[in-house]
Amino acid sequence: MSKHVRDNLDSPEQERQEEAAEWKAYTQQQQAQEEERQISEEQRQTSEEQRQSAEQDRQSEEKQRQTAEKIRRATEQARLATEQARQVAEESRLAAEESRLVTEQARVAAEQARHAAEQARHAAEQARVATEQARHAAEQARVAQLEQEEILKEMRQSAEQARQARSKTD
């Protein structure tokens, strides 16, 4: 057989092989493009998840900041209530001392006794008022402490939620 006749016989087979090779290359290119698209989509989703996680972290930090501010205010209220209770207790102590002095003066002279008795009644009323104020201030301090404990509990829960959210995103 001549070379020309052999070329003609091989030509349809070669065309089929070339078409098959082209089809295979096209299919591989399509698969590669699809894989690139999937990777791009996964990267977009990961970026979105990271953005959401960052937003959750920001919100958690804001909530912690607000909680810390609440604690600061509650602590300041407790400090003021304690100071007020201390002042009232000092007033009560001073009023009791004054009452003792007035009673002693009453024994010295009859006229002074009448006057001292009036002062003693006045001092006793001040002591009662001061005691009532001290009891009220102590109740305020107790309430402030309970509020502070509640805030601390909320802060711990917030921190635990933030820790869990971070561990989920990691």
* Placement of tokens 């009891």 in the chain: 135
- What single-letter DSSP state applies at residue 31? H
pLDDT tens-digit series, residues 44-53:
999 999 999 9
Q: Does residue 124 surpass a pLDDT of 80? A: yes
Average pLDDT in the chain: 86
Give the pLDDT band (50/70/90) at residue 170. low
Give the dihedral of Cα atoms 108, 110, 113, 114; nearest 10 deg. Answer: -170
Q: Does residue 72 surpass a pLDDT of 60? A: yes
Residue 114 pLDDT = 78
Residue 148 pLDDT = 94
Q: Does residue 71 surpass a pLDDT of 50? A: yes
Pick the residue with more confidence: 120 or 102? 120
Residue 10 pLDDT = 61
Q: Does residue 32 surpass a pLDDT of 70? A: yes
For residues 95-115, average pLDDT:
76
Residue 146 pLDDT = 92
Q: Does residue 98 surpass a pLDDT of 70? A: yes
